Amino acid sequence: MSKAKRFMRLNRGLKSIALLWGIAGSHPLLAAPSSEIQVLTVAYLNNFMKLSEWPTTQDKELTLCVTQEGELAKELDSLVDAETQPHTLKIKRLLQGDNASQCHLLYLSKDEKPLLVQSWLNSLKDLPVLTVSDKEDFLDQGGMVALIEQDGRLQFEVNLTQVEHVKIKMSSKMLQIARDVRKK
Amino acid sequence: MKITLQTYLPCIVFLFTILNSTQQLSADEKKKVYDLPLDQLVNFEVVSASRFKQKSSEAPSAVEVLTAENIRNYGWRNLADALGAIRGLYTRNDRNYSFLGNRGFSRGGDYNSRVLIMIDGRRMNETIFDSGFIGEEFMLDMNLIERIEYIPGTGSSVYGANALLGVINVITKRGKDIDGMRIGGEAGSLGTYRGRATFGKQWSNGAELLLSGSHYLSQGNERLYFPEFANINGGIAQDKDHERNNRAFGKFSFGDFTLRGGYISRYKQIPTGSFGAFFNENNFSVDNQGYVDLDYLTQVNPNLDLEVRGFHHWYDYYAIGPYNADDKSILSREEADARWWGGEVKLTGTQFAHHKWITGLEVQYDQRQHYNNYDIGSPPPSFDRKNSGWRAGVYVQDEYRITDSLLLNVGLRLDQHHLIKHLQLNPRIALIWDITPTFTTKLLYGSAFRAPNILEHDLNTAKAILPQEERVKSYEAVAEWYPGNSVKLLGTVFYNDISRVLQSDPVTFNTVNTGKFSTLGFEFGAEKNWDNGRQLKLSWTHNNTRDNSVNGGSWATDSPKNLVKLHYAEPLLDNKLRLGFEEIFVDERLTVAHKIAPSYHLFNINLALTKPIYGFQANLGVYNVLDQHFKIVPGPNYVQDTLTGDGRTVRFRLEYGF
């Protein structure tokens, strides 16, 4: 290959990369701030932990439990790296059959088997573990916080009866922002 | 194409420029989002969830998964190493290609055409020999792999041809997983080196890019001794084991679109004198494979996902070797080139209560399937074949949750393939019963097919005997028990009935559908993962695979009755280091000459940093620590009845990220 040809090839290559770069960089900003669902979910969980108080207040380390590998579990690992909590944060991956009583917060995905969700909720009925899920009927099943996507926004609902039953204190701010707070 | 530093350098320089011009690092941006108060979060728009769903295999459970963490802990050098760690699989390298055996079934020289190999859910088997590459001839470097999914059993009900014994889906990392630039180097025994550059990023507007390129070089064994060739150079193949490859992979996603592309060019010397080539002469093969795939995945409504994609793949191959013709040495060239393109439309719906359904249409045009074999310098081609044609498949699958504890998964696919006469209809049925929340049982049945490849299709002297498809029916029962404390126990019983297997008729040399095989076996698996990163994993596969095509039936060749695998990873120095042990036992096997290849143990140790220190990530692996001279069974076209694998080797990897 002659040098001239080689230069032309290089030049062409650079141009196409530059074009790609242009597309990636110059896209107009969206009107509303937006984010991937798993980043938002992790941001919510981060807030829930800041705005809740567990009866075992001496805990310096908060344990956040998750039952499935995947994008959310990976995102939680980067939450630990981001160090946004006043507490040290620990992510624990649970397998079915594992004891969840050591968790402060347990996140159950809507992809989780129904039988398993129910069995975890039953085993935690009287324990101060904040249960959160994106499952629609989660509060009816005895869960505490449900994350619900509506009109392209992520919202949440709280089952305060269950939260108070296990003596977790939720800040009034959190309850104000909740789309719905259930209390018998 | 020869790739030199001069071609690499501008790219690297340019990537630096991109990096430096970036204003915000996505990690910081994410931290900002994590920290936002609730009243702001409720106003955030959720970016369509479907496009971030990691492409996962559409299979009713029983999937075995290896993660990026496993790859790091055990230091697997290529896909073949990783697959060798999976329950029920065994690999061998005949010093030209790597081959996969599956629950006791392995046919010499089938180039893994009875397994479907996928990258991000895309079929990678080429359209000449149907090869599914897994060694250094596979397209991806290990650092790009997020996870490897292995679905044992039939997969034709979703994926069509070739998914006879299993589906392997290799899922690549995302740009944001790399988040910056990584330069890596590898050096090891047998004069082995690899250089690599990977760039990955996600921008605030959601655009995401992953780019990677690497070069690999291995001098191989300087002297390989084959007693079968003792009369030539004392049986020593001198400097005939070189291997090198160039790899490139890229992924760019923006909005609902993802563009993927990959390329591999692999050169390997063949030191074994296989296929009748003169021994200790220069004999080599080159495989080039590439693809581009444009994917549009969108959420039509919260209960309906639509995926539309188009793809183009190509494969070029040639091999040159010296052969005997009328007592003269002539150079023979075997070559093949293939082009194929196509598309798929797929719908996934959840609008009916308790149902998740998938339906799709896949079309592929095999535009060129060209195979040629001739003697260099002799004018008339000795064997030149061209083919082209269409294949199409339509499939439907439904996952029906009958009760909270009972799940039924039914799939069906109808295939038309231009190399066979009849339409193929392949079902898969799985019944999954959670007897208790911690005890699950599964019953699985499925069938699958493989059409003959171009060579099998075109080789027969009499055109009247056109080979047809191979078939398999597989039955499996699985029990999984989670007794607590992160322990998982598993047991399976399986039966595979493989019929109409294509083989060469010993008299006419025609390819005929006369092979019949059956496998009956069971597996046990146990796994425990500790919070601190410690892992213990054990599996045992026992099977009896019979070759029923011979009189009265006999033990099939290259079929180890027992496979035992042990993996143990231990965190050291406050989890800064991870020490991984891998022990693989492969039982004795029957060779083509009806002798016994002895059983062997492969023991590997790997030491890796769990997190980079000052941006540096290091990894040291010792393979075949006990320096076993283990024997593998090569294909039928070898003078050697067994080949000896590599002894103890060492590999050091260092990566710098910024």
Chain B residues in contact with A39 (beta carbon < 8 A): 30, 33-34
CA dihedral B165, B338, B246, A24 (to 10 degrees): -90
Chain A residues in contact with B46 (beta carbon < 8 A): 34-37, 40, 149, 152-154
**Location of structure tokens 């991000």:** B120
What percent of chain B stands above pLDDT 70?
A: 92
Segment B138-153, tens digit of pLDDT: 999 999 999 999 999 8
Confidence of residue B59 (pLDDT cuts 50, 70, 90): low
Q: How far is A139 from chain B (nearest CA, A)?
A: 17
Cβ distance of B33 and A20 shorter than 8 Å: no
Segment B4-30, tens digit of pLDDT: 444 454 544 444 444 444 433 455 666
- Over the range A76-110, which residues count as b (16 or more CB within 10 Å of their CB) and which as e? bebbeebebbeeebeebebbbbbebeebbbbbbbe
Segment B320-363, tens digit of pLDDT: 999 987 778 889 999 999 999 999 999 999 899 899 999 999 99
Task: Give the residue from B258, B186, B178, B175 showing the smallest Cα distance to B215.
Answer: B186
Confidence of residue B301 (pLDDT cuts 50, 70, 90): confident
Looking at residue B1, its pLDDT comes to 41
Task: Give the residue from B187, B163, B169 showing the smallest Cα distance to B471.
Answer: B163
Q: Cα separations (Å) of B435 from A58, B11, B341, B403, B524?
A: 40, 57, 46, 12, 19
CA distance A95 to B200: 31
Q: How far is A154 from chain B (nearest CA, A)?
A: 6
Cβ distance of B31 and A82 shorter than 8 Å: yes
Beta bridge partners of B259: B252, B294
Segment A94-125, tens digit of pLDDT: 988 888 998 999 999 888 888 889 999 999 99
Q: Which residue of A has its CA nearest to B531?
A: A92
What percent of chain B stands above pLDDT 90?
A: 75
Cβ neighbours around B532 below 10 Å, total: 9
Chain A residues in contact with B39 (beta carbon < 8 A): 177
CA distance B628 to B505: 36
Segment B450-487, tens digit of pLDDT: 999 998 888 777 667 789 999 999 999 999 999 988 99
Q: Does B179 touch chain A (CB under 8 A)?
A: no
> Judged by CB atoms within 8 Å, which residues 333-362 of B form the interface with A?
none
Task: Give the residue from B633, B578, B622, B571 showing the smallest Cα distance to B77.
Answer: B622
Mean pLDDT of B265-282: 94
Chain A residues in contact with B401 (beta carbon < 8 A): 114
Tell me how far the alpha carbon of residue B129 is from its chain's centroid: 15
Q: Does B326 touch chain A (CB under 8 A)?
A: no
Cβ distance of A113 and B434 shorter than 8 Å: yes
Q: How far is B590 from chain A (nearest CA, A)?
A: 41
Q: How far is B252 from chain A (nearest CA, A)?
A: 9
Looking at residue A57, its pLDDT comes to 64
**Identity of the residue in B33, B405, B529 whose CB atom sits nearest the CB atom of A43:** B33
Q: Does B475 touch chain A (CB under 8 A)?
A: no
For an interface test with B, give the residue of A17, A35, A61, A171 to mutate (most B CBs within 10 A): A35
CA distance A8 to B582: 50
**Identity of the residue in A70, A93, A97 whose CB atom sits nearest the CB atom of B438:** A97
Q: How far is A60 from chain B (nearest CA, A)?
A: 18
| pLDDT over 70 at A142, yes or no | yes
Looking at residue B62, its pLDDT comes to 66
Q: How far is B99 from chain A (nearest CA, A)?
A: 30
The residue with greater pLDDT, B44 or B315, is: B315
CA-derived radius of gyration, chain A: 22
Mean pLDDT of B434-439: 91
For an interface test with A, give the residue of B7, B12, B38, B67 to mutate (most A CBs within 10 A): B38
Confidence of residue A16 (pLDDT cuts 50, 70, 90): very low
**Location of structure tokens 């140790």:** B605
Helices and strands: H and E segment counts in chain A: 6, 10
Q: Does B532 touch chain A (CB under 8 A)?
A: no
CA distance B584 to B92: 13
Looking at residue A13, its pLDDT comes to 47
CA distance B45 to B61: 33
Segment B489-505, tens digit of pLDDT: 999 999 999 999 998 88
Looking at residue B40, its pLDDT comes to 87
Mean pLDDT of B362-377: 93
Cβ distance of B46 and A51 shorter than 8 Å: no
Output the average pLDDT for chain B.
90
For an interface test with B, give the residue of A21, A36, A50 to mutate (most B CBs within 10 A): A36
Looking at residue B139, its pLDDT comes to 97
Task: Give the residue from A147, A148, A180, A145 showing the smallest Cα distance to A166.
Answer: A145
Q: Which residue of A has its CA nearest to B39?
A: A177
Confidence of residue A5 (pLDDT cuts 50, 70, 90): very low
| pLDDT over 70 at A22, yes or no | no
Cβ distance of A116 and B434 shorter than 8 Å: yes
Evaluate whether B138 touches B264 at the Cβ level (below 8 Å): yes
Chain A residues in contact with B302 (beta carbon < 8 A): 149
Chain A residues in contact with B10 (beta carbon < 8 A): 10, 13-14
> Judged by CB atoms within 8 Å, which residues 399-428 of B form the interface with A?
401, 404-405
Segment B210-244, tens digit of pLDDT: 999 999 999 999 999 999 999 999 999 999 999 99
**Identity of the residue in A25, A43, A116 whose CB atom sits nearest the CB atom of B41:** A43
Looking at residue B320, its pLDDT comes to 95
Looking at residue B420, its pLDDT comes to 93
Segment A50-92, tens digit of pLDDT: 899 998 766 678 899 998 777 788 888 888 887 777 778 888 9
Segment A157-176, tens digit of pLDDT: 999 999 999 999 999 999 99
**Identity of the residue in A38, A98, A174 whose CB atom sits nearest the CB atom of B484:** A98
Cβ distance of A115 and B203 shorter than 8 Å: no
Q: Are strands B631-632 and A145-150 parallel, antiparallel or unpaired?
A: unpaired
Looking at residue B423, its pLDDT comes to 96
CA distance B89 to B132: 15
- The yes/no answer to whether this complex scores an ipTM above 0.85 is no
Q: Largest alpha-carbon pair distance within chain A?
A: 83
| pLDDT over 70 at A2, yes or no | no
**Location of structure tokens 């910024």:** B658
Mean pLDDT of B443-455: 94
Segment B530-583, tens digit of pLDDT: 988 899 999 999 999 999 987 888 999 999 999 999 999 999 998 899 999 999
Cβ distance of A20 and B252 shorter than 8 Å: yes
Task: Give the residue from B87, B493, B266, B37 showing the smallest Cα distance to A47.
Answer: B37
Q: How far is A55 from chain B (nearest CA, A)?
A: 23
pTM for the whole structure: 0.89
Evaluate whether A133 touches A107 at the Cβ level (below 8 Å): yes
Q: Largest alpha-carbon pair distance within chain B?
A: 87
**Identity of the residue in A32, A69, A118 whose CB atom sits nearest the CB atom of B43:** A32
CA distance B388 to B367: 5
Q: Are strands A105-108 and A130-133 parallel, antiparallel or unpaired?
A: parallel
**Identity of the residue in B31, B49, B484 whose CB atom sits nearest the CB atom of A84:** B31
Q: Is B34 helix (H, G, I), strand (E, B) or coil?
A: helix
Confidence of residue A28 (pLDDT cuts 50, 70, 90): very low
| pLDDT over 50 at A24, yes or no | no
In sequence order, which ranges of A37-171 are alpha helices (DSSP H)?
37-50, 71-82, 114-123, 160-165
Cβ neighbours around A161 below 10 Å, total: 14
Evaluate whether B38 touches A179 at the Cβ level (below 8 Å): no
Burial (Cβ within 10 Å: 0-12, 13-18, ≥19) of residue B423: exposed
